[in-house]
Amino acid sequence: MDQMTPCFNYHDCENCPIRERGVCARCDDRELVPLNEIKYYRSYEAGQTMVWSGDAMDFVGSVVTGIATLTQTLGDGRRQMVGLLLPSDFVGHPGRACAAYDVTATTDIVMCCVRKKPFEDMMLQTPHLLQRLLEITLDELDASREWMLLLGRKTAREKIASLISIIARRDASAHAAGSGGVTIALPLSREAMADYLGLTLETVSRQISALKHDQVIVIERKRRITIPDMDRLLEEAGDDTDGGMPVREGDPKLVPRSSARQ
Amino acid sequence: MDQMTPCFNYHDCENCPIRERGVCARCDDRELVPLNEIKYYRSYEAGQTMVWSGDAMDFVGSVVTGIATLTQTLGDGRRQMVGLLLPSDFVGHPGRACAAYDVTATTDIVMCCVRKKPFEDMMLQTPHLLQRLLEITLDELDASREWMLLLGRKTAREKIASLISIIARRDASAHAAGSGGVTIALPLSREAMADYLGLTLETVSRQISALKHDQVIVIERKRRITIPDMDRLLEEAGDDTDGGMPVREGDPKLVPRSSARQ
DNA sequence: GGCTCACTTTGATCTGTGTCAAGGCCTGTT
DNA sequence: AACAGGCCTTGACACAGATCAAAGTGAGCC
């Protein structure tokens, strides 16, 4: 339902930037041939909504370059981002006719698409495709469950620290800064971060300021930060596998109760 | 690491209560033969932890009867339930050695298990198994994303109403009560509900009392409630696809901002 | 029947984060 | 240089839900 402006030509999959990680990663050269024939590229501009939740969705696709988000919306407009799509991530639900989320381009983006029916047919004949899609989906599921822990139980400060550390971990372009630190570009506006973290934009801004004040992060430009001490940041994120003394089992009285978010 | 007390005998899969919905649902009789040979049953008592997060997990399995939960824990003890396992649900991550979550039996439970290695091998040779597992995983992913919306953006009252309506929808044993209402058994303690919803036990209790006071639900016994008017409950849950007037696009000023949970 | 123990409810108070509102800071335009 | 329009930050205040505390309920046991 949008434009279709292929902005560059990967005519063959050989040189595709996501060859190693996409749904096609396990396919051998022979299997790539039919895929090559039915795929097509689609590009969208930053800010554009690629798919509306509830609309018919007749294709599936992979992000080749750029970043997109999956969001869900409540009747009254409250929004929650439920996924962040980076290059090689897959969009679409084989076997389902309608989109379950809004998909929005955060940056200019290029997708490698296949119409749903041919994709489903091909999947039935190509175990390598099926296997890889299962792997990807299982990883997504783990990631979204980790996010549930963040949304349900972390404080605003921990949420921000977690988001930054996740971006730092996934951002291939993150490169070491001067004194052993790491510099990253935030691909999201404060509002998008708020939608991701289940916070308001103001709280996001305040917590970023607080982390800056406490020198956990250094603000280069609004969308560019450096992390002088990654361990410190991970500590702030709260999910270091064990805060210090190794507890578990033992006297249940020592185990604090859940919650603590408010 | 626990007991292995098969408490009943489904020696063949034919009569298995989850034959229609489990990972094996798409397998034909021929494919069932090798599965039949490598599967084994395992049962656990209510309250027992079946798997500890981080421990080696050398099997995968499906819930045959009973209910279990997946939970994640932060270093300081804050807990978040990330999945509720009902009969036919699948546990385990092929291709991963360690469990990512604690798995705990909520009721007495029987699992149909297969050691991981044989399962993986068989999956490579049995597309029907692979296909069904992909379906199950995609559905899980959708469910967990819906839950992210709940955790990030719903109020306590909406969370409780959502949980009750989800249980009502999934509970096969839910049967019509007298005047068109539905009666269900809550399979969870208040504390478990709190862990699921990202709330405290006290807030759960208060909101249940409030819904009772407002006659959205009727409390039979503490763990048994009836829903006189399902539509009313769904309205309280907040995610009716559209609160009334069909908005979207149009004047952006009319779209309220996100958040509203506080 | 009375006791225990686990679970649940209810009350009083506190606090983290939402809400409302005002400015500040870039980047592009004329 | 001045202006406009997006973000982003900061402040003051409100309130939903957390926390601390105590009492109620009900099933199992002697």
For chain B, 262 residues long, give each residue's pLDDT as a single digit of tens: 444 444 445 567 888 999 999 999 999 999 999 999 999 999 999 999 999 999 999 999 999 999 999 999 998 999 999 999 999 999 999 999 999 999 999 999 999 999 999 999 999 999 999 999 999 999 999 999 999 999 999 999 999 999 999 999 887 666 665 566 889 989 899 999 999 999 999 999 999 999 999 999 999 888 889 999 999 999 999 986 544 444 444 343 344 556 655 5
Interatomic CA distance for residues A31 and A125, integer angstroms: 10
Nucleotides of C under 7 A from a protein CB: 7-12, 15-21, 27
Interatomic CA distance for residues B80 and B199, integer angstroms: 9
pLDDT confidence of residue A1: 40
What is the location of CATH 1.10.10.10 in chain B? 155-254
Which among A134, A240, A241 has CB closest to B134? A134
* Domain B155-254: top CATH class: mainly alpha
Residues of A in contact with B78 (CB under 8 A): 153-154, 256, 258-261
The residue of B91, B103, B149, B188 whose CB has the most chain A CBs within 10 angstroms, and thus the best one to mutate to test that interface, is B149
What's CA B72's distance to the chain center, in Å? 14
Q: Using the CB atom, is residue B259 less than 7 Å from strand D? A: no
Give yes or no for residue A7 having a pLDDT over 80. no
A129: closest CA among A258, A254, A10, A13?
Answer: A13
Q: Using the CB atom, is residue B223 less than 7 Å from strand C? A: yes
Q: Using the CB atom, is residue B191 less than 7 Å from strand C? A: yes
Multiple choice CATH, A13-151, 1.10.3720.10, 3.30.540.10, 2.60.120.10, 3.30.450.40? 2.60.120.10
Protein chain A, residues 2-31, with a C-beta closer than 7 Å to any atom of nucleic acid strand D: none
What is the location of CATH 2.60.120.10 in chain A? 13-151
Mean pLDDT of A156-178: 83
DSSP H or E stretch at residue A79: strand A79-85
Contact A74 B238 (CB under 8 A): yes
What is the location of CATH 2.60.120.10 in chain B? 15-151
Give yes or no for residue A72 having a pLDDT over 80. yes
Give yes or no for residue A120 having a pLDDT over 60. yes
Multiple choice CATH, A155-243, 1.10.10.10, 3.40.50.300, 3.30.360.10, 3.30.70.3270? 1.10.10.10
pLDDT confidence of residue B100: 94
Protein chain B, residues 58-77, with a C-beta closer than 7 Å to any atom of nucleic acid strand D: none
B48, B42 in Cβ contact below 8 A? no
pLDDT confidence of residue A210: 97
Half-sphere exposure of A67 (CA within 13 A, CB side): 14
Query: Tokens standing for A173?
Result: 């372009």
Superfamily of domain B15-151 in the CATH hierarchy: Jelly Rolls (2.60.120.10)
Residue type, A112: C
Nearest CA of chain B to the CA of A253: how many Å?
11
Give residue A15's pLDDT band: very low, low, confident or very high (50, 70, 90): confident
How many angstroms separate the Cα of A121 from the Cα of each of A25, A63, A80, A116, B125?
18, 21, 33, 9, 18
Instruction: Report helix, strand or coil for B59.
Output: strand
Nearest CA of chain B to the CA of A45: how many Å?
18
Say how far B257 CA is from C21 C1', in Å. Answer: 15
Interatomic CA distance for residues B79 and A257, integer angstroms: 8
Say how far B221 CA is from C6 C1', in Å. Answer: 16
Nearest CA of chain A to the CA of B178: how many Å?
32
A182: closest CA among A172, A168, A192?
Answer: A168
pLDDT confidence of residue B239: 81
B182: closest CA among B200, B191, B170?
Answer: B170
Q: Using the CB atom, is residue B213 less than 7 Å from strand C? A: no
What is the location of CATH 1.10.10.10 in chain A? 155-243
